[in-house]
């Protein structure tokens, strides 16, 4: 055996094997498992009472409608197959779990909710109307020159941090039950349509305030990639700068209790 062969066997070969082992280990450490998911579903809401404040400088108006009640407009309670999927109160989630345990994630959370002031309704109005003090009650309904619809969406958009806890899994792991907690903040993107004292605005979409939400979910997973999710959610929305007639604005704040049922898919992904 010559010197070159001995040098290869006892010096070069061990270092080559060690280098390859370290490279493989480093590659393994760099691998990161992630889970991307998307869901679509429908919702129903209940709203707290709130005060709608209207300011129209050109008309010398600055008044408030105090303690109004409102309701949602489900749209899916009289059928979904007979209308476009986006007409009823829908919701979608797009997110991912970014650690190997799949228990911590980020989510874009959108709820197409609808908010309509209940008609008819006797509402206390106080403030200034046409430059004069007002402290009275109006019968709020369209026939009397009043309506207030966020009917093409009160539209809650949230950017959530998500935490997951595994509750149950079958022996073959094809059936799982998880609990999830979600918390986030984000903008409001309402469609504003209103009329006060016979003066109507031009219906429009706009960014109009912010909201924050807390959500608890039960998630049933089938074969790792299809899931059904039932959620209960509390949301606080603070609307501002909502456009009304004559370049006026309205603002209000209310709480929402929401129930959501969604169907989704999961896409596992390995990142190197």
pLDDT tens-digit profile of 117-133? 999 999 999 999 999 99
pLDDT tens-digit profile of 61-119? 999 999 999 999 999 887 777 788 888 999 999 999 987 777 899 999 999 999 999 99
- Closest by Cα among 252, 161, 271 to 208: 252
pLDDT tens-digit profile of 204-261? 999 999 999 999 999 999 988 999 999 999 999 999 999 999 899 999 999 999 999 9
Check whether 13 has a pLDDT greater than 50. Answer: no
Higher-confidence residue of 193 and 84: namely 193
Q: b/e map of 24-41 (b: 16 or more CB within 10 Å)?
A: eeeeeeeeeebbebebeb
pLDDT tens-digit profile of 24-40? 444 444 455 678 999 99
pLDDT confidence of residue 15: 40
pTM beyond 0.75: yes
Average pLDDT over the chain, rounded to an integer: 88
pLDDT confidence of residue 20: 54
Check whether 18 has a pLDDT greater than 50. Answer: no
Check whether 12 has a pLDDT greater than 50. Answer: no
pLDDT confidence of residue 63: 98
Which residues lie below 8 Å from residue 11, measured CB to CB, with a gap of 6+? none
Task: Indicate the domain borders of the chain.
Answer: 1-30, 32-271
**Cα dist from 59 to 62, 130, 199, 247, 264, whole Å:** 9, 6, 11, 10, 50
pLDDT confidence of residue 269: 63
pLDDT confidence of residue 6: 37
């Amino acid at each position: 055996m010559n010197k070159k062969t001995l040098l290869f066997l006892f010096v070069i070969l061990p270092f080559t094997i060690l280098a390859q082992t370290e490279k493989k280990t480093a590659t393994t450490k760099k691998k990161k498992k992630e889970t991307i998911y998307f869901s679509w579903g429908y919702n129903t809401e209940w709203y707290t009472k709130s005060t709608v404040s209207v300011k129209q400088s050109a008309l010398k108006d600055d008044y408030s409608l105090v303690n109004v009640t409102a309701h949602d407009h489900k749209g899916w309670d009289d059928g979904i197959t007979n209308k476009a999927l986006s007409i009823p109160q829908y919701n979608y989630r797009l997110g991912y779990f970014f650690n190997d345990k799949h228990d911590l994630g980020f989510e874009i959370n959108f709820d197409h909710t609808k908010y309509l002031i209940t008609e008819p309704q006797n509402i206390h109005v106080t403030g200034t109307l046409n430059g004069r003090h007002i402290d009275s009650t109006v019968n709020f309904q369209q026939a009397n020159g009043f309506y207030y619809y966020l009917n093409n969406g009160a539209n809650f958009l949230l950017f959530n941090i998500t935490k997951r806890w595994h509750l149950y899994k079958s022996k073959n792991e094809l059936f799982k039950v998880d609990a999830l907690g979600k918390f986030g903040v984000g903008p409001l993107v309402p469609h504003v349509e209103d009329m006060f004292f016979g003066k109507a605005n031009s219906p429009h979409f706009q960014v109009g305030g912010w909201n924050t939400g807390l959500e608890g979910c039960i998630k049933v997973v089938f074969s790792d990639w299809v899931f059904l999710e039932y959620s209960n959610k509390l949301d606080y929305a603070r609307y501002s700068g909502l456009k009304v007639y004559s370049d006026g604005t309205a603002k209000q704040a209310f709480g929402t209790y929401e129930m959501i049922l969604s169907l989704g898919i999961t896409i596992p992904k390995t990142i190197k």
